Structures are given as structure tokens and as C-alpha cells.
Amino acid sequence: MNVNSILLTIALLFVGLNVFTFFRRQTYKQTEFDTRLFSHLFVSLLGVMIGFALIYYALSRDSVILVTSLETMTAVEPSWRNLLYFSGVTLLSIGFGDLLPIGPARLFALLEAAIGILLPTAFFVKSIYKKED
């Protein structure tokens, strides 16, 4: 098993663990703002963002994964700053369009964007519905 496969596996497990830990907590019951639930969401989103930055890093070791334009295919340097930025913009569904994923990074970007939409939705649902005792 090469280093990229190990990195990719660890990063995927890290992302999965962050999503799982968010959904496994069932003790929230408020009708007003719950800072514990919000901080849990924030930490989960931060963990997912870092996990996907690791995935993009592992993918970038084999080939170019981010470009500035699909026409010119100008490669973006895979620095941690760029990878964290791209991961954050994708996770939060901002999508400025200044960095574009290519190759296998496109699939992971879609998955990250889906998680970025579903986790806050789950936060909203958890904060509204009261757990039955």
C-alpha cells in the first residue's frame, strides 16, 4: 500500500468519524439556541474541512487536482493554504469559482458539498425537535 492510499484512507475515516459523531449525540432538547449543539456542529464542520483538505492533498501527490480555468488548465499549487481554502469554500457551498477541481477531486468535491448542506440541515432539525424521553 503506497503513502497516498494510506493518506486517503485515513482522511476518509476522519471525515466519516466527524459526520458520525455529529449524528450519534441525541441529548439535545431545546426550543431556544443551544450553544453545545452549535459548537458540536462547528467542530464537526471544521473536522470535515480538514479531512477533505487531506484527501485533496493525497490526490494532489499523483496529479493536478485544482486549476484556475478549465480552458487554460492552469494548475494551482497544492499548498495547505490553497487546499484548506478550496475545502472550506466547497464545504460551505460558497463556490467562488476561482479554484476548480479536475479528475477524481470532482467526486470528492461533490461529496463534501453534500455534507456541507446536510450537516447544517441536521443541526436545524435537531434543534427544533425535542427528544422523547
pLDDT at 33: 65
Q: List, for residues 51-75, the tens digit of each pLDDT value.
A: 999 999 999 999 999 999 989 989 9
Beta bridge partners of 101: 66
Grid cell for residue 82: 490553497
Cα separation, 45 vs 51, in Å, equals: 10
Q: Is the pLDDT of residue 27 over 60?
A: no
pLDDT (average), residues 1-19: 85
Grid cell for residue 53: 483538505
Q: Is the pLDDT of residue 26 over 70?
A: no
Q: List, for residues 70-103, the tens digit of each pLDDT value.
A: 899 899 999 999 999 999 999 998 888 899 999 9
Please state which of the four CATH numbers 3.40.50, 1.10.3470, 1.10.287, 1.10.405 is assigned to the domain occupying 3-128. Answer: 1.10.287
Decide: pTM greater than 0.85. no
Res. 130 pLDDT band, cuts 50 70 90: low
Domain ranges of the chain: 3-128
